[in-house]
C-alpha cells in the first residue's frame, strides 16, 4: 500500500513538473473562484445587498436619494484647477466641517435620519 501511494505521488509530481505553468494557472483560477465565492456570500449574508442602490432596477430610488440641499454641480473629473475651483472646494469643505462639528459623537442621535441626511 505504501509503495502504491509513493508511485501515485511520484506520478503527480511528474505531471506537475512537466506542466508547471498550466498548474499555476489552474491553482490561480481555483483560488480566485474561492475568493469571489466567499466575497459574494459575505455580501449577501451581511445584508448589504438589500441597501445597495447601484444594482440594476434601482434607478428611480437612486434619483430620490440625491442630495437636493446643495444646488451646486459636482466637481468635474476633468478640467483645470484654478483659484475659483479651489475656493469652491474650500467653501464646501468648510460647510461640511460645520455640520460635523455640530454632531455629538457619543449621543443617541448620531444615527438618526437627520444626522445621516436621510430626511
Task: Average pLDDT across each block of 10 residues of the chain; the chain has 119 residues. List them in order.
Answer: 88 89 95 96 81 67 59 76 88 85 66 69
Residue 61: per-residue pLDDT: 64
H or E stretch at 36: helix 20-45
Residue 115: per-residue pLDDT: 67
Residue 81: per-residue pLDDT: 84
Residue 106: per-residue pLDDT: 63
Residue 39: per-residue pLDDT: 95
Residue 33: per-residue pLDDT: 97
Question: Taking a C-beta distance cutoff of 8 angstroms, is the pair 28, 21 a contact?
Answer: no
Amino acid at each position: 500500500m505504501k509503495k502504491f501511494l509513493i508511485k501515485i505521488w511520484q506520478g503527480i509530481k511528474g505531471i506537475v513538473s512537466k506542466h508547471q505553468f498550466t498548474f499555476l494557472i489552474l491553482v490561480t483560477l481555483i483560488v480566485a473562484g474561492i475568493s469571489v465565492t466567499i466575497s459574494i456570500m459575505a455580501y449577501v449574508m451581511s445584508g448589504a445587498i438589500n441597501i445597495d442602490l447601484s444594482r440594476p432596477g434601482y434607478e428611480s430610488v437612486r434619483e430620490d436619494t440625491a442630495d437636493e440641499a446643495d444646488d451646486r454641480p459636482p466637481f468635474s473629473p476633468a478640467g483645470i484647477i484654478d483659484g475659483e475651483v479651489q475656493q469652491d472646494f474650500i467653501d464646501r469643505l468648510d460647510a461640511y466641517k460645520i455640520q460635523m462639528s455640530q454632531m455629538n459623537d457619543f449621543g443617541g442621535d448620531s444615527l438618526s435620519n437627520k444626522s445621516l441626511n436621510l430626511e
